[in-house]
């Protein structure tokens, strides 16, 4: 495998892992839902099934697809990481001080 092919594969892998990680941040909600499903005996009565393994397995699979889809939407749709970074910087007083110093340096260089 050539160097170009390795670079393309690495970039592809990093891009999709990045999206998955963004969606993974919301996994706590999915864990709560799955815990409710697996610990509930009412599901067996509601679905009239002896075993709910298939339903739980399907739920887990759909959960991972949903988490990945949410990560893709956050990345492509609303640029979540940029908005998150902007919000973090707006709450950081050190960032404001650093930007003021940079402005003074630029003004002194222009003179």
- Stretch 11-31: mean pLDDT, rounded? 76
For residue 95, what are its two tokens?
Answer: 């960032």
101-to-39, 87, 95, 98, 105 alpha-carbon distances in Å: 57, 21, 10, 5, 6
Tens digit of each residue's pLDDT (9 = 90 or more) over 48-85: 777 777 777 777 778 778 878 888 888 888 887 787 77
**Residue 89: per-residue pLDDT:** 80
Express each pLDDT in 30-51 by its tens digit: 777 777 677 666 777 777 777 7
What integer is the mean pLDDT of 85-98? 82
pLDDT for residue 1 = 60
């Amino acid at each position: 495998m050539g160097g170009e092919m390795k670079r393309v594969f690495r970039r592809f892998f990093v891009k999709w892992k990045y999206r998955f990680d963004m969606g993974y941040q919301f996994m706590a909600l999915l864990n709560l839902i799955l815990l409710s499903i697996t610990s509930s005996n009412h599901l067996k009565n509601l679905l009239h099934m002896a075993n709910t393994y298939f339903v739980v397995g399907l739920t887990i699979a759909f959960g991972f697809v949903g988490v990945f889809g949410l990560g893709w939407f956050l990345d492509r749709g609303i640029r979540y990481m940029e908005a998150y970074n902007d919000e973090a910087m707006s709450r950081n007083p050190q960032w404001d001080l650093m930007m003021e110093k940079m402005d003074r340096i630029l003004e002194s260089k222009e003179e």
